[in-house]
Homo-oligomer: A and B are copies of this chain.
Amino acid sequence: MNILPAVLQNGISSTARHICKLPRERNAFSHIQRNPTDQKLSSRTYSRWNQPNDPDDCDKRATNHVRAKYKHLIKVLKEDAEKREMLKIKKGKERSEKAKEGKKSSLLLRKLRGKGTKQVKQGRIADRNIIFVAGLGSIGMGASREILKKGPKNLLIFGRSTKPKAMEELRRINKKSNIKFYKYDVTLPLKASKELLYKVFEEYKKIDLLINGAGLLDEHKIAETVDVNFKGTVNTTTAIMDFWDKRRGGPGGVIANLCSASAFNPIYQLPVYSASKAAVLSFTISLAKLAPLTGVTAFSFNPGITQNPLRNKCNSWLNVEPCVGKLLLIHPTQTTKQTGKSLVEVLEANRNGVIWKVDQGRLEAVKWLGQRYWDSGI
């Protein structure tokens, strides 16, 4: 098929649809189809060149114009055709490569299937296996207490330092649930996260829920704040996809990311902390949109200021507000218990993509309007 005349005659959208029979390609052009101006672009362009004051070479100029305008499209279509040919040849080779890549997780999944583990409805706490990445500071501790009251099968705390006293207290809350501590530093590279998760999946076979709750609030530690709050969440999430991603035969899962209300509107005295939380919020929005592909749903939980004696010691960026910790505490909005209870509520609700806010003890789903500012269209 000759692309150029077809584009000139029918417009780009219908030509593209006609050429691309495969679902992925159809999807690739769907945004063009959605844009109503594009369909008539060629005729409009043609009539523009066909003005009475310039009648001589309008045909030639229109052709050149369209050729230049859709040069990239023609190139992409050609490349795709070539790629499909190459794919047929390399199919066998690719298969073996893929097998190598997914070796570890596939082995594990095969074991799981062999033992007859069936996929159950995700997200409820009772009798589930939960990983909670948390420092067991006041919010992490408050949340753990509330989670345990709902009776999870296994609650695996991933933390930087062992806290025997806190663990002892948690064990007393619910003696039927198994609570175990794993030493885990979210600031280490992705590989370390994968290694730990491999051990955990080997032991527990199935993990239903991952709660990313590690957080740092100290603007004198810029690199560490970014690493713990943002990179840590991304690393743990990326690592668990090896075991959960349904494209690799995984059973799917649920991710709850603990952000902060400062992700919506920064506490400007704490710009790095707020920005890192804005990043996690954005990341979670993406994760939720990817759920149909990966089988892994995600939502974010954004508490307002929670009463926490540790806050008192936190530093502001360049000391712009030496009393920032006190100012945060001076107007307490909610207790760690309230925050914990709200977290349990949203874990039980398990709604993909919801941006939860709990401020002054009130829990609500935020209608986020990011798309009104811009949409990539892909």
Interface residues of A (CB under 8 A from B): 24, 28-29, 31-32, 72-73, 76, 79, 189-190, 222-223, 226, 230-231, 234-235, 238, 241, 245, 261-272, 274-283, 285-287, 289-290, 293-294, 302, 304-305, 317-318, 320-321, 323-324, 326-332, 357, 359, 366, 368-371, 373-378
- The dominant DSSP class at the A interface is helix
Contact in complex: A226, B223 (CB < 8 Å): no
7 interchain pairs, CB-CB under 8 A: A76-B326, A79-B326, A222-B231, A241-B318, A278-B281, A278-B282, A305-B376
Q: Among B294, B328, B373, which residue has its beta carbon within 8 angstroms of that of A378?
A: B328
Least CB distance from A243 to B in Å reads: 13
Q: Among B76, B241, B272, B357, which residue has its beta carbon within 8 angstroms of that of A283?
A: B272
Knowing A223-B231, A231-B222, say if A375 contacts B272 (CB, 8 Å): no
Contact in complex: B305, A282 (CB < 8 Å): no
Closest to A261 in B: B374
Complex CA gap A374/B324 in Å reads 18
Contact in complex: A326, B376 (CB < 8 Å): no
Complex CA gap A283/B320 in Å reads 14
Least CB distance from A247 to B in Å reads: 8
**Chain B positions within 8 Å of A275 at CB level:** 230, 234, 279-280, 282-283, 286
Which 9 residue pairs are nearest across A and B when measured between Cβ atoms?
A271-B286, A265-B370, A264-B373, A278-B282, A268-B289, A279-B279, A268-B286, A261-B374, A275-B283
**Chain B positions within 8 Å of A302 at CB level:** 374
Instruction: Please give the count of copies of this chain that the complex contains.
Output: 2
Complex CA gap A32/B330 in Å reads 9
Contact in complex: B263, A282 (CB < 8 Å): yes
Closest to A327 in B: B378
Least CB distance from A76 to B in Å reads: 5
Complex CA gap A280/B345 in Å reads 32
Complex CA gap A256/B222 in Å reads 20
Least CB distance from A64 to B in Å reads: 18
Residue from A24, A280, A320 with most neighbouring chain B CB atoms (10 Å): A320
**Chain B positions within 8 Å of A357 at CB level:** 373-374
Contact in complex: A190, B223 (CB < 8 Å): yes
